[in-house]
């Protein structure tokens, strides 16, 4: 038997929780929004459903075909799944959460920042929110039912004159912290 790897061709972020892998994809101007996939072996996968199933979570209106939901990122922290994404035609960044990724997701919490390609990184009880629009880093504190946001800009380039960050993400492995981004030179 031959298996395709990756499970879904293309560039899609995934989160691992124990022996389970979860993957979300952009849904652009389609409803329901943000397809969610699961695999326990990274060979075979199944679609669990969508993260944005209710109109209260996603209003598309006159969203253009190249607009809508871009670059969702799925994270797991302290038993809760967090999905942060951008509605490029309708309000910017927002986050939803769920205890069970195949269950019901919360209504969106508006992050109130422009840009695209958002990420959440959890460290020592703090969630760091990064996004493209220059490398702007916002510090947030996580509570069980909400994200309380305190925005703090920490820069405006990716270290390359005339560029902005594409897909910025923060990582920690073995006490080493890495900020990764692709510069997009205009």
Domain extents in the chain: 14-185
Kindly provide the residue ranges of all beta strands, DSSP E only, lying in the chain, ordered along the sequence: 14-17, 20-24, 33-39, 46-52, 69-77, 80-87, 92-98, 109-110, 116-123, 126-132, 136-142, 147-150, 163-173, 176-185
Topology (CATH level 3) of domain 14-185:
Tachylectin-2; Chain A (2.115.10)
| Number of Cα atoms under 13 Å in the Cβ half of residue 72 | 29
Q: What is the pLDDT along the chain (186 residues), one digit of tens a residue?
A: 776 666 666 666 667 899 999 999 999 999 999 999 999 988 888 999 999 999 999 999 889 888 899 899 999 999 999 999 999 887 788 999 999 999 999 999 888 777 788 888 888 877 888 777 654 444 455 454 455 555 555 554 555 555 566 777 888 889 998 877 776 655
In the block, which residue shows the tokens 């699961």?
38
Given a contact cutoff of 8 angstroms between Cβ atoms, the answer to whether 167 and 181 are in contact is yes
* 23 touches 39 (CB < 8 A): yes
Spatial separation of the C-alpha atoms in residues 29 and 22, rounded to whole Å: 22
Distance, CA of 77 to CA of 183 (rounded, Å): 28
Minimal CA–CA distance to 110: which of 32, 56, 61, 181?
56
State the catalytic residues.
14, 166
């Amino acid at each position: 038997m031959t298996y395709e790897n990756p499970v879904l061709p293309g560039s899609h972020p995934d989160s691992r929780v124990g022996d389970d892998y979860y993957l979300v994809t952009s849904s652009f101007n389609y409803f329901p929004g943000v397809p969610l996939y699961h695999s326990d072996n990274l060979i075979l996968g199944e679609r669990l459903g969508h993260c944005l199933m209710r109109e209260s979570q996603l209003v598309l209106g006159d969203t253009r075909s190249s607009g809508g939901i871009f670059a969702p990122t799925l994270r797991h922290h302290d038993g809760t799944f967090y999905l942060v994404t951008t509605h490029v035609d309708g309000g910017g960044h927002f986050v939803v959460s769920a205890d069970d990724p195949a269950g019901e997701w919360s209504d969106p919490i508006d992050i109130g920042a422009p840009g695209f390609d958002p990420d959440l990184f959890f460290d020592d009880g703090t969630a760091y929110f990064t996004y493209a629009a220059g490398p702007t880093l916002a510090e947030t504190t996580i509570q069980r039912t909400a994200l309380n946001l305190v925005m703090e800009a920490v820069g405006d380039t990716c270290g390359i004159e005339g560029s902005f960050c594409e897909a910025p993400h923060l990582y920690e492995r073995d006490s080493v912290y890495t900020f990764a981004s692709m510069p997009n030179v205009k």
